[in-house]
């Protein structure tokens, strides 16, 4: 039987994970908000219209922050539309998703919902079709105490305390031809620099995020990123990049390998940062804000254009996520941890219904799809110091990738002294015995918990009627003579937790 071997050494540390690595993304797209987080009149809605049943699925995710409001949505967003008395808010033709936006749920509603959830907000300003002044006004509205036009307006709207948002995205996917207000890297970088400078004059405590490439397959990648960074390097703090992977061709072994492209993307971005920093003779550093990632299958189906336009919150991009998506997402999460020295913000896209693992029925129930559990475990046990493992695994070749390891894995030294190993077995048919040599832990560590997500059918999923078809179960792991042993089921996501015997 083929076996995977791994060495974990307590002293081989990569970096600490930032809290902001455990974040998500909320866009007024389809039923993410309306019919998802917010549905006044639903039996479980509170007095503000927030669905308590949905919140009870989100809370365990322990999200640090949620990016809002977009996404492509931002490119025609007039933030002022979304505040003040609801009866005065304009209904707009929201062109990115071809829907009617009622603006019933805006900046302050999201602040209320976030408070309830215990998460922070990462705001996005529109530099695609608006400019520096509107971005400054939005910072003033959200973050200043009072005594100015916009901060007093917020107070008059019933919010005496500033929201105090720290992270601000400078627009979204400006490189994309689908974007209203697409721009070149240099022109956008110049505008973003000035906007960031001005926004920081309003509130010097904020951090800003420059929009980079929408995905590594963009024909303008990496020139767009270099040109934008060349303009804005000293004034911004992060570069936003996105990556979605899909199984549109129904080739699961190839799909399961796609996180290798995410890995390559991060490594290349590290090189680009070093290049621009050297060119500018700078002491400043930028980090990656991976503020949209997930698996997404309807992406090139152009689903939106097949549905009636100008309706309110139609169901859009509601992929049926399965067990194989959980494993594919698991590999993306492992990849994020393996680059946590560079990736400091990561937002799973999106949080509810649309490209999401939490599904609702309007007026009905809510349930979770298999990848939900991979993210849940990542957020619950992924915080701490990531260790650099040495992995020796059997490999396979797929259509686009050579030498794909069956085992994808990363260890994290948690703050309670325990160790968590996240592991994916990419083989669809073979159990993979995993033997981990523990160095620097000998004799003092014992298995605490072993969590397995697997199913005999890669396409298995959960529904409202059968919500527990795919759910985690307990697995087995043992430590024998400094060696941690576990057998990983075919196509599985595994969380092996060791506790310190001290």
Active site residues: 173, 292
Which residue's CB is nearer to ligand AHR, number 4 or number 174?
174
Q: Residues 87, 90, 95, 99: what is their CA dihedral angle, to the nearest 10 degrees?
A: 30
Q: By CB under 6 A, what part of segment 13-32 binds ligand AHR?
A: 27
Q: Which stretch binds ligand AHR (CB under 6 A): 64-72, 78-86, 224-232, 399-407?
A: 64-72
Within 10 angstroms of residue 131's Cβ, the number of other Cβ atoms is 15
Q: Which two tokens stand for residue 227?
A: 């040109």
Which residue's CB is nearer to ligand AHR, number 169 or number 387?
169
Q: By CB under 6 A, what part of segment 390-449 binds ligand AHR?
A: none
Which residue's CB is nearer to ligand AHR, number 212 or number 475?
212
Which residue's CB is nearer to ligand AHR, number 74 or number 252?
74
Q: Which residues contact 337 (CB under 8 A, 6 or more apart)?
A: 17, 378, 382, 386, 410, 412, 422
Q: By CB under 6 A, what part of segment 69-88 binds ligand AHR?
A: 70-73
Answer yes or no: are the C-beta atoms of 207 and 168 closer than 8 Å. yes
Closest contact distance (angstroms) between CB of 292 and ligand AHR is: 6
First-last CA distance in the chain: 35
Phi, then psi, of 213 in degrees rounded to 5: -70, 140
Helix (H) or strand (E) holding 92: strand 92-94
With CB under 6 A as the contact rule, the residue among 24, 66, 82, 172 that binds ligand AHR is 172
- Closest by CA to 408, choosing from 475, 342, 471, 491, is 491
Show the binding pattern over residues 280-319: x = contacts ligand AHR (CB under 6 A), - = does not: ------------x---------------------------
Show the binding pattern over residues 229-258: x = contacts ligand AHR (CB under 6 A), - = does not: ------------------------------
- Closest by CA to 358, choosing from 349, 474, 206, is 349
Which residue's CB is nearer to ligand AHR, number 214 or number 252?
214
With CB under 6 A as the contact rule, the residue among 101, 109, 137, 173 that binds ligand AHR is 173
Which residue's CB is nearer to ligand AHR, number 28 or number 411?
28
263-285 b/e (C-beta count within 10 Å ≥ 16 → b): bebbeebbebbeebbeeeeeeee
Q: For residue 494, give the 3-state DSSP assignment.
A: strand
Closest contact distance (angstroms) between CB of 126 and ligand AHR is: 13
Closest contact distance (angstroms) between CB of 96 and ligand AHR is: 7
Closest contact distance (angstroms) between CB of 58 and ligand AHR is: 17
Q: Which stretch binds ligand AHR (CB under 6 A): 58-66, 68-76, 111-119, 156-164?
A: 68-76
**Residue sitting closest to ligand AHR (CB):** 71
Which residue's CB is nearer to ligand AHR, number 137 or number 318?
318
Which residue's CB is nearer to ligand AHR, number 175 or number 203?
175
Show the binding pattern over residues 338-367: x = contacts ligand AHR (CB under 6 A), - = does not: -----------xx----x------------
Closest contact distance (angstroms) between CB of 32 and ligand AHR is: 9
Q: By CB under 6 A, what part of segment 105-164 binds ligand AHR?
A: none
Q: Which residues contact 46 (CB under 8 A, 6 or more apart)?
A: 52
- Closest by CA to 381, choosing from 38, 62, 41, 53, is 62
Q: By CB under 6 A, what part of segment 476-495 binds ligand AHR?
A: none
Closest contact distance (angstroms) between CB of 348 and ligand AHR is: 10
360 alpha carbon, distance to own chain's centre: 20
Q: Which stretch binds ligand AHR (CB under 6 A): 50-58, 65-73, 129-137, 302-310?
A: 65-73
Applying CB under 6 A, does 218 fall inside the site for ligand AHR? Answer: no
27-65 b/e (C-beta count within 10 Å ≥ 16 → b): bbbbbbbbbbbbbeebeebeeebbbebbbebbeebebbb
Cis omega before residue 167 (within 30°)?
no
Answer yes or no: are the C-beta atoms of 221 and 193 closer than 8 Å. no
Closest contact distance (angstroms) between CB of 112 and ligand AHR is: 23
Closest contact distance (angstroms) between CB of 37 and ligand AHR is: 15
How many whole angstroms separate alpha carbon 196 and alpha carbon 209?
9
Closest contact distance (angstroms) between CB of 213 and ligand AHR is: 11
Give the distance between the most distant pair of CA atoms in the chain.
71
Helix (H) or strand (E) holding 259: helix 259-279
Contacts with ligand AHR, residue ranges (CB under 6 A): 27, 70-73, 172-173, 214, 292, 349-350, 355
């Amino acid at each position: 039987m083929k076996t995977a071997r791994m060495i974990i050494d307590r002293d081989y540390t990569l970096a600490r994970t930032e809290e902001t690595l455990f974040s998500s993304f909320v866009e007024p797209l389809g039923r993410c908000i309306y019919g998802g987080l917010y549905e006044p009149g639903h039996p479980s809605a509170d007095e503000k219209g927030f669905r308590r049943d949905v919140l009870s699925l989100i809370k365990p995710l322990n999200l640090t922050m949620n990016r809002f409001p977009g996404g492509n949505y931002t490119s025609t967003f007039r933030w002022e539309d979304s505040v003040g008395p609801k009866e005065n808010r304009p209904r707009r033709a929201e062109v990115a998703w071809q829907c009617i936006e009622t603006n019933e749920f805006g900046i302050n509603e999201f602040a209320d919902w976030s408070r309830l959830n215990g998460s922070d907000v990462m705001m996005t300003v529109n530099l695609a079709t608006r400019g520096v002044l509107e971005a400054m006004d939005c910072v003033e509205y959200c973050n200043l105490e009072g005594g100015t036009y916009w901060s007093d307006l917020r107070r008059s709207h019933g919010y005496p305390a500033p929201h105090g948002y720290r992270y601000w995205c400078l627009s979204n996917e400006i490189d994309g031809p689908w974007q209203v207000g697409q721009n070149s890297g240099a022109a956008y970088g110049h505008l973003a620099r000035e906007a960031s400078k001005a926004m920081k004059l309003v509130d010097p405590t904020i951090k800003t995020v420059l929009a980079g490439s929408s995905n590594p397959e963009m024909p303008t990648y990496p020139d767009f990123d270099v040109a934008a960074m060349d303009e804005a390097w000293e004034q911004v703090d992060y570069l936003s990049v996105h990556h979605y992977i899909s199984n549109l061709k129904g080739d699961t072994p190839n799909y399961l390998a796609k996180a290798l492209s995410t890995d390559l993307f991060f490594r290349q971005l590290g090189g680009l940062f070093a290049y621009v920093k050297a060119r500018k003779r700078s002491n400043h550093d930028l980090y990656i804000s991976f503020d949209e990632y997930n698996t997404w299958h309807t992406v090139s189906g152009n689903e939106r254009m097949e549905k009636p336009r100008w309706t309110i919150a139609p169901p859009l991009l509601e992929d049926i996520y399965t067990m194989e998506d959980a494993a594919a997402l698991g590999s993306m999460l492992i990849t994020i941890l393996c680059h946590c020295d560079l990736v400091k913000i990561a937002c799973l896209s999106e949080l509810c219904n649309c490209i999401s693992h939490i599904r609702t029925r309007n007026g009905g129930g809510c349930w979770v799809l298999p990848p939900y559990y991979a993210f849940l475990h990542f957020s619950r046990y992924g915080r701490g110091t990531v260790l650099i493992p040495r992995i020796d695994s059997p490999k396979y070749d797929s259509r686009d990738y050579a030498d794909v390891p069956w085992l994808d894995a990363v260890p994290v030294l948690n703050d309670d002294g325990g160790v968590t190993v996240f592991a994916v077995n990419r083989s669809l048919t073979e159990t993979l015995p995993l033997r981990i040599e523990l160095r620097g832990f000998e004799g003092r560590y014992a298995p605490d918990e072993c969590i397995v997500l697997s199913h005999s059918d890669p396409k298995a999923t959960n529904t409202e009627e059968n919500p527990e078809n795919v759910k985690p179960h307990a697995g087995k792991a043992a430590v024998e003579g400094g060696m941690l042993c576990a057998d990983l089921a075919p196509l599985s996501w595994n969380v092996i937790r060791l506790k310190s015997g001290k």
